[in-house]
Chain A
Amino acid sequence: MNPYVPILAIGAIGFGFAVFSVAIAFITGPKRYNRAKADAYECGIEPSPSAAGGGRFPVKYFLTAMLFIVFDIEIVFLYPWAVTFDQLGLFGLVEMILFIATVFVAYTYVWRRGGLEWD
């Protein structure tokens, strides 16, 4: 059988599911409108039009998010290293130290340039 048939099948099922759920929610769901429904997001933080600059998110959110990614990536790489630690031996250790040091440089930069000061 052509190996792409399963892929197509998965695609079709995914598409079908999306159409199905939206349709079923549209047909069976109750329709009670209120203010929260009209918001862009029904959950999460309040969009705050009063913030400085006319409705923008403070840049601090992004800084935090990026800092999170820095450590996130670090963890992603630490896991496989932990699993194969004994096989890679000293080489792995040195490489990992270098890697962590590099990530740490990014962290110190953010810290020293005031990225962690909330106010």
Chain B
Amino acid sequence: MSILTVMMLICVIGAGMLFFIPTAKTVLVKQISLAISILVALIGIYLVGSLDKTQSGMQFVEIRNWIPTFGINYSVGVDGISAVLILMSVLLVPIVLLATWNESENGRWSVRTFQILVLILEVFMIGVFAATDLFLFYVFFEAMLIPVYFLIAGYGSGERAAAAVKFLLYSLFGGLLMLAAIIGTYVIAGNQIGKTFDIEKLSTLQIDQTTQNLLFLGFFLAFAIKAPLWPFHTWLPDAARSATTGTSVLLVGVLDKVGTYGMIKFCLKLFPEASRYFTPWIIGLALVSIIYGAIVAIGQKDIRGLIAFTSISHFGFITMGIFAMTTQGMSGANLYMFNHAFSTAALFLIAGWMIARRKSANIADFGGLQRVTPVMAWSFFIAGLSSLALPGLASFVSEFLVLVGTFTRYPVAAVIGTIGIILAALYILIPVQRALHGQTLKSNENLSDLDIRERVAIAPVILLIILLGLFPKPILDLINPAAKTVITSNGFSDPVSKVKK
């Protein structure tokens, strides 16, 4: 049994255990689910640590027959890219659980249900990144929606029901289009090499350009909605505003990464010609996302809305890096996915604490927090600086790589993309200045700083942001071979060498 399966099984067993604990014992329930998520996170660290970096293929592979009639297997395995994303997911879950310790108590349902949903979601998150069978991937991809839906609808605030439905319908719509494309790919495979969903085998198919373009669009739309890319982004700000902080972190930090991960793993791999055909358009969309997300973020009054829109801008960068089709761009995009998860998580978590203390999400209601709650303010400041890609902090390396990678092929796009960085300075520094610095408002005088639990939860995140800014090498070493394989095995080449000549 693969270690990946073990991780998923532990979460499943954990969720099953919680089911038998009385609803009233909320503390016990929380402790158990935190313990399980920490255990899984440790296994995740071990997984990444023991990954053979010299090898670019799939590791920790496990293949079992699931539905032989359709050639569907339960097959999991990781390469550098997916291993890093799994690490990201399993690290975030315990942080989220600890950071939002009390959040689940104000929901419509019990704390137990919340914890079970989170653990089930973790199963799907690991599964979606580990699946090497297209059908299995799709199953996890769609199944993931259900726990998130309930997390938003059951524990969120404000227009949570509408936001949950919007989220689900957008995702389902994209997912079902992808299903049609998956069926198309499957039928073509049946005609050429026999019924299979194995991604490696599917990537050997010979598909004519028109069909490939259509199938590509089916996949890409689903991922663009998930990512989310302008103009498919409208669900995200609503969901982020209504969901609990923890849900938002998992939603933006992990779930949205499935979109960009899917672009790398499926769009590029299965339909290289179509990818090339659509690249200019997608780069265009990515640029619009970068600029649009940034500009709208500047105008946001709700702090959670602001973070959501900055994410849209960041996903623009990631998508641009992916479709630049260069090794730097690809590595940068992958590293960006990892970094973005932690800087956004930090922003969301601290924003959540600020909102909980101040009972308002309006940026204008804060002010001078620096003096009253220094730890909280500093954490927010560091996370914000990382989000605007300040050198020395995590996001800088990845954003730089993305821009360099894009520049070698699409210089104009890279230059426009840089505008996004300037806007980023605006959208981060304006709220930082308004909320943290300046006159302390009377209403904020009595706000309390982070307590021990919150500090323990946020410390690793901040630490990661700083460490990855200074030493991104461990993660990059994992990503690079896989990123190189993605680029070369799909028939792309780095244009860098040509420029030099």
A and B touching (C-beta < 8 Å)? no
Which positions in A face B, CB cutoff 8 Å? Answer: none
* Residues in B lying within 8 Å of A, measured CB to CB: none
